[in-house]
A = this chain, B = another copy of it.
Amino acid sequence: MSDKKTIAVLGGTGKEGGGLALRWAHAGHMVIIGSRTAERAEEGAAEMRSTLGDTAKVRGLANLDAAAAADIVVLSVPFSGQQATVQEVAPALAGKILIDVTVPLVPPKVSRVQLPEGGSAVEAVQKLLGAGVRVVSAFQNISAHHLTKLDVDVECDVLVCADDPAAAEEVVELAHEIGLVAWNAGPLCNSVVAEGLTSVLIALNRRYKVPGAGIRLTGLPRQ
């Protein structure tokens, strides 16, 4: 069991980030909702406290302040805002783990895999930040809808990719703490699969008329 950490979720007022933040707060972590303005962030935090009860340690701050106050920073913003948000918070990330949840969806064709030039979106983030930030890719395939229902067993495994194996293990553990099964899926470049898989799952949802397809890994030692 890891110690309780302070986790900032940038884009934590959105569905996916909000679902992750809710579950980490529920697991006892100190959570900071990050948003473009402190007001919007605090609104999101207040809503979360009303769901979880007043003992929940959730507050809201503007993205840069949220990142500065956290041990671990989670990036869950639309693809179109990914680079700008990373550039804004970069000064607060030195030595920290940055968990990138961004899915490179290109509306309106979100059921088509449309990867950025040069591979995965997260590799561009690592390049922008340099080796001093421990960038990890994870959680792209988890339905936000499932995350917000705290009593639901999420039927989707998490692929964790990172060039820093110790950072990957920390994120695997953070996933376990919120009831998710997670696997160290190799180096950061392997994130292409996790990033693209979300579009494949959207295509499957449409084709088979289901709300939330997911994946389970097989042949691995499930605990």
Contacts and interface: CB of A to CB of B under 8 A. Distances in A.
B203 A185 contact: yes
Given A193-B196, A196-B190, A185 B204 contact: yes
A171 interface: no
A200 B159 contact: yes
Nearest to A195: B193
Contacts of A218: 155-156, 213-216
Interface stretch (A19-27, A64-72, A112-120): A112-120
A218 B213 CA distance: 5
Interface in A105-163: 111-115, 119, 155-156, 159
A210 B114 CA distance: 32
Contacts of A192: 113, 115, 192, 196
Given A159-B200, A183-B208, A184-B207, A112 B219 contact: no
A183 B200 CA distance: 10
Contacts of A197: 193
A204 B220 contact: yes
A212 interface: yes
A14 interface: no
Interface in A171-187: 183-187
> Which 7 A-B pairs give the minimum distances between C-beta atoms?
A186-B203, A155-B218, A193-B196, A214-B218, A213-B219, A216-B216, A113-B190
B216 A215 contact: yes
Contact of A208 (B200, B204, B214, B221): B221
Given A218-B213, A219-B212, A113 B184 contact: no
B215 A215 contact: yes
A160 B204 CA distance: 11
Nearest to A216: B216
Contacts of A212: 219
Given A113-B192, A186-B199, A210-B220, 15 more contacts: A113-B186, A113-B193, A114-B189, A159-B200, A183-B207, A185-B203, A187-B203, A193-B199, A196-B196, A210-B219, A211-B219, A213-B217, A215-B215, A215-B216, A215-B217
